[in-house]
Amino acid sequence: MKILYILLFFLVSVSTYCQQWIIVDILEQTKKELVCKVDNGEEVKRKTFKNPSIVKLIMDYQMEGFLLKSVTQGVELDLNGNLPLINNRNNNFGITNLNLFNNNRVMLWFEKKEE
């Protein structure tokens, strides 16, 4: 019987405290717009904001009740092309068809505690 009471208490306490997270991945920032991917835990949407300010974006989410918990930056490397597999006199790995793109991405982690 004690186990049943402990189990019910645990289920009630877990269900009353939950958090909502939103991750905003900034893909591109130009003079006219800000392109982001917004992950709310259920779906990922690509959004375009007309105001290119990241500070205004943070303030908008804070006005909705979210708290900025972390800002992370990642480097996305895209290596496109082909590398020759045969090393002979005509192609000594000096002439390849590789293109390297370096994209710095900023991710904003917002948390909203619900009670």
For the chain, give every domain's residue range: 19-81+100-115
pLDDT, position 63: 92
- Read off the tokens for 98: 């590789």
- Read off the tokens for 65: 């009740």
pLDDT over 80 (residue 26):
yes
- Report the SS3 class of residue 1: coil
76 alpha-carbon distance from chain centroid: 12
CA distance 40 to 59: 17
* Of 39 and 76, the one with more pLDDT: 39
pLDDT over 80 (residue 82):
no
CA distance 24 to 68: 11
Q: What is the CATH number of domain 19-81+100-115?
A: 3.30.1410
Confidence of residue 54 (pLDDT cuts 50, 70, 90): confident
What pTM value is reported for the model? Answer: 0.62
pLDDT over 80 (residue 100):
no
pLDDT over 80 (residue 30):
yes
Q: Which one-letter amino acid corresponds to residue 78?
A: D
Positive or negative, the Cα torsion across 88, 89, 90, 94?
A: positive
- Read off the tokens for 46: 């690509």
CA distance 77 to 18: 36
